[in-house]
Structure 1
Amino acid sequence: MSNQSNAFNQLSLPKSLLDNLESMQYSQMTPIQALTLPAILSGKDVVAKAKTGSGKTAAFGLGILSKLNVDSYATQALVICPTRELAEQVANELRRLARLINNIKILTLCGGQPIIHQVNSLAHGAHIVVGTPGRLLDHIQRQTVNFDALQFLVLDEADRMLDMGFEDDMMHIIKHIPSQKQTLLFSATYPDSIEKMSTRIQTQPEFITVDEVNDQIEQLFYEIDDAQRKLILAKLLTDHMAQSVVVFCNTKQACNEVEHYLSQLGFSVIGLNGDLEQRDREQVLLQFANKSRTILVATDVAARGLDIKELDLVINYQIAYDPQVHVHRVGRTGRAGQNGLAITLVSPNEIAKANLLEQSQNLTIDWLTLNDVSFDKTKIVQPKMQTLSLTIGRKNKIRPGDILGALTKDAAIDGQLIGKINITDLYSYVAIDKKMIKKALDYFKQGKIKGKSVRARSL
């Protein structure tokens, strides 16, 4: 396929969407977008096999937005995701794609948030609903959602939803949706269960597969002595001096031990495990994504839905039990055409897992060893940014520009020193250069945003 035909402007998209794509510097479609968008725009059901980070959200998002009737506040599209994090990411990406469409309302319905706020928002209508199966079922049972006008159903990461036991929930939700609709099913793998589900819920779907072997990810395997595992981890972190690292552990206990160990040494580290309350989990992910922390230590379950762009390095502190899990871990680096690096530590009692990985992925492992495990503490990378948490959010009709304006105009902080701004329903999080944190905190002792007093604290 030539580059010319891979340009977004070759598609019959509304001008507002094309103008916005241009402002976002999206000119060429990714392979999954080039293959699925024509089918989606022509109204076909689609089953698409593509990995996380391939650009699938924009593929179905542009399809939905191109056909949306903004004048009607009836819910016209439903996107079902396996986790709250993924649902939030999808909703945020849809909002970015819809920036030049006036008065569009995109609502997330997930667990871990007060249901009453969601009920109140639904009462005013929403064009697009993005949610997790459990919370969507809850709203269906309460009769607080109405899908009578639904035109699009998207199942995102459908294989993972089946793995997590959501099949009955999904089928129950689908019973409450009109049979005349366009159904898009996205999945990283294509097991028999996906084929069965497609047969039940889709009409003559077009099957699209993008198996991109990412040759931009360099993989290094170190044979280690189990007793030196933590030391070797610290050594590799200082040797590579990466700005953004995910360290994967197989258990929650290992995760906690590694986080504590690295923290004691002075690394900027934060942990993500299944025991965290939803808001704490949200804050952990935000701090890592906005470059306020250098290292995220996580289990595979906790990292579900994690989509961090510009991830320099993945370290498998312990080799994954399953080769497919290893592929998912490693695939989190080297996104969007960037080079990536993945390092796996393997002790003698884990060699069988490494052999299985070699066979299943057609890999040839060149084993490395470290003779010297001493490391230089002066090479520990410290982030330039810190996160500010503000007691104001989407419910207060706050936009990133309102926060940026208050900090630059009123608090007189240089805009270059302000990083990512994330707004959730009740809170906002701002990455600010560490040198300016005190100034920002001082401002919010009296300062306001849109006339509303705001409490601030640094995370």
Structure 2
Amino acid sequence: MQVSSFSIADTLSNLQIDALNEMQEASLEANKNSDAVLLLSDTGSGKTLAFLLPVTQLLDRSSRVTQALIIVPSRELAMQIEQVFKKMGSGFKITCCYGGHLRETEENNLKQAPALIVGTPGRLADHIRRGNIVTTHIETLVLDEFDKSLEAGFEEEMSFVIGSLPALKKRILTSATEAVAVPAFVGLKDAVEINFLTGEKSPALAVQLVRSNEVDKTDTLFRLICALGNRSTIVFCNQREFVAQLSTYIRDKGIPNVYYHGAMEQQERDSALCKFRNGSSNVLVTTDLAARGLDIPNIRYIVHFQLPTTEESYTHRNGRTARMDKSGTAILVVGPNEYVPPYIKPAPTEIKLPATTELPAKPVWTTLFIAAGKKDKVNKVDIVGFLTNKGQLKKEDIGLIEVKDFFSFVAVRKSKAGHTLEQIKTEKIKGKKVKIEVAK
């Protein structure tokens, strides 16, 4: 067996990380000596790299079969892991499998077996049943955020997938919460537990409280966002039915925002998250779906508009900010009939909102949708070249670009967007005429 010769130093260089943290070092050491590892660590502490490094070290370069499988509770977490793995630059192929887009796309990607597959339980089970994933040589299994998969009711699919791995030797489980029983079907025996849970919120996280005199609380939220200014803010709700309603309310009051929940189509989700990532919108209204798996840098504020129903929910929501060495603030909006949950300690600092409101400055970016992506052989360089040559944009007028399989998103300076769209309306990208418009 020709195991990976890719060095950790190369990985860190590619990821632009100076050194592994204590938890990641402990994971590497434990995985050298055990085939059963349970890794408990706080959200935002670097668990993804903590299991990808030992997994990569076990991959055989001479083999052309799938050797490792990662099961996750959400498509967003799957895509994040895929992104980190590709940035590591190991040279191994990874394929991401999740519901919400064409299964045929994944089937094509699976024809030449990837060394590593990451996906959600239902989609992985579907591919295995159809024979698209050959499981006979998969020796390494990772269950990332396994507690969330169990909480979401994926036991049946997970049991089927794990039961379909006849060569399984190594199991790595991760979670940001403890005291969750590992089901027997996982087959985890004599596991080495690495527990880096602090039980405390990050010292970089400030927790505040704003009181609403109205049961409705929506006007209080509007005034709060005005007071925070145009800083990156996630507003959490408990019900997805309420998300769009709240988003519309604050938009009608003059605050551009996007919303995100589990009932949206995949392209709608991608568009919303891209606009939030690239600064076309500074406010994201969402459910707890966004509390895990989204790695969006520089989120300054977490607003608990509807109070979290559990301590785990509170922890994971807050984990979107104050990540690694960054600071952030969590703010609870408390109505007249509500109280601060007892697990939030010490007591949050109460803040008063200004008597007068002033709308935050509008974002300077807007997002263009391009109906071409990786499967059309279009990449970021093609898009930059097209927009500078045909759209008469300077490079500083082009922001974050995200290229998906069949479409792309690109941030452009809002003041230049109208002129650019006029210039490119009859032009072609790589010899093909494609629809380009302001992203919906």
The amino acid that maps onto 2:172 is L
How far apart are 1:448 and its partner, in Å? 4.0
User: Which residue is 1:140 aligned to?
Assistant: 128
- Relative to its length, the structure with more helix (as a share) is 1
User: Which residue is 1:419 aligned to?
Assistant: 399
1:276 aligned onto 2:264: yes
1:265 aligned onto 2:247: no
How far apart are 1:423 and its partner, in Å? 2.1
1:457 aligned onto 2:440: no
C-alpha contact 2:159 2:186 (8 A) present in aligned 1: no
| Structure 2 Cα separation of the partners of residues 399 and 334 of structure 1 | 32
User: Which residue is 1:320 aligned to?
Assistant: 308
User: Which residue is 1:51 aligned to?
Assistant: 42
User: Which residue is 1:376 aligned to?
Assistant: 358
The amino acid that maps onto 1:414 is K
C-alpha contact 1:292 1:384 (8 A) present in aligned 2: yes
How far apart are 1:173 and its partner, in Å? 0.4
The amino acid that maps onto 2:136 is D
| Structure 1 Cα separation of the partners of residues 296 and 140 of structure 2 | 27
| Structure 2 Cα separation of the partners of residues 250 and 442 of structure 1 | 42
Match of 2:143 among 138, 145, 155: 155
User: Which residue is 2:369 aligned to?
Assistant: 389
C-alpha contact 1:224 1:369 (8 A) present in aligned 2: no
C-alpha contact 2:364 2:413 (8 A) present in aligned 1: yes
1:167 aligned onto 2:149: no
C-alpha contact 1:224 1:345 (8 A) present in aligned 2: yes
User: Which residue is 1:434 aligned to?
Assistant: 414
The amino acid that maps onto 1:114 is L
The amino acid that maps onto 1:202 is L
Q: How does 1:166-185 map onto structure 2 within 5 Å?
A: 166-185=154-173
Deviations 1:337-377 (A, max 9, x none): 111011111123112xx1xx23x34422444444x543013
The amino acid that maps onto 1:423 is V
Change (3 A) 1:448 1:365: same
| Structure 2 Cα separation of the partners of residues 410 and 71 of structure 1 | 45
| Structure 1 Cα separation of the partners of residues 159 and 213 of structure 2 | 48
User: Which residue is 1:34 aligned to?
Assistant: 25
Match of 2:95 among 104, 107, 112: 107
* Matched residue count: 435
| Structure 1 Cα separation of the partners of residues 242 and 230 of structure 2 | 22
Change (3 A) 1:160 1:425: same
| Structure 2 Cα separation of the partners of residues 274 and 150 of structure 1 | 31
Q: How does 1:254-403 map onto structure 2 within 5 Å?
A: 254-301=242-289, 303-351=291-339, 354=340, 357-358=341-342, 360-370=343-353, 372-377=354-359, 380-403=360-383
How far apart are 1:422 and its partner, in Å? 1.7
Q: Secondary structure at the match of 2:181?
A: helix
C-alpha contact 2:140 2:168 (8 A) present in aligned 1: no
Change (3 A) 1:149 1:340: same
Q: Secondary structure at the match of 1:193?
A: coil
Identity %: 31
How far apart are 1:313 and its partner, in Å? 0.5
The amino acid that maps onto 1:376 is E
Deviations 1:117-136 (A, max 9, x none): 22222112222211110011
1:245 aligned onto 2:252: no
The two structures have a TM-score, normalised by structure 2, of: 0.90
Change (3 A) 1:270 1:48: same
| Structure 2 Cα separation of the partners of residues 306 and 404 of structure 1 | 26
Change (3 A) 1:123 1:39: same
Q: Secondary structure at the match of 1:95?
A: helix
Deviations 1:239-283 (A, max 9, x none): 221421011122334323321121012111111233312221222
User: Which residue is 1:7 aligned to?
Assistant: none
Change (3 A) 1:192 1:330: closer
Change (3 A) 1:412 1:48: same
| Structure 2 Cα separation of the partners of residues 392 and 16 of structure 1 | 36
How far apart are 1:298 and its partner, in Å? 1.1
Match of 2:193 among 180, 195, 207: 207
Q: Secondary structure at the match of 1:107?
A: strand
| Structure 1 Cα separation of the partners of residues 5 and 81 of structure 2 | 21
Deviations 1:18-67 (A, max 9, x none): 23522432012233312212223556431111233221111222222333
1:125 aligned onto 2:125: no
C-alpha contact 1:287 1:293 (8 A) present in aligned 2: yes
| Structure 1 Cα separation of the partners of residues 318 and 141 of structure 2 | 30
C-alpha contact 1:243 1:381 (8 A) present in aligned 2: no
| Structure 1 Cα separation of the partners of residues 349 and 420 of structure 2 | 50
Moved more, 237-246 or 439-448: 439-448
The amino acid that maps onto 1:416 is E
C-alpha contact 1:238 1:381 (8 A) present in aligned 2: no
Q: Secondary structure at the match of 1:208?
A: strand
| Structure 2 Cα separation of the partners of residues 239 and 292 of structure 1 | 19
Over aligned residue pairs, what C-alpha RMSD do you find?
Answer: 2.5
C-alpha contact 2:136 2:167 (8 A) present in aligned 1: no
Unaligned runs of 5+ in 2: none
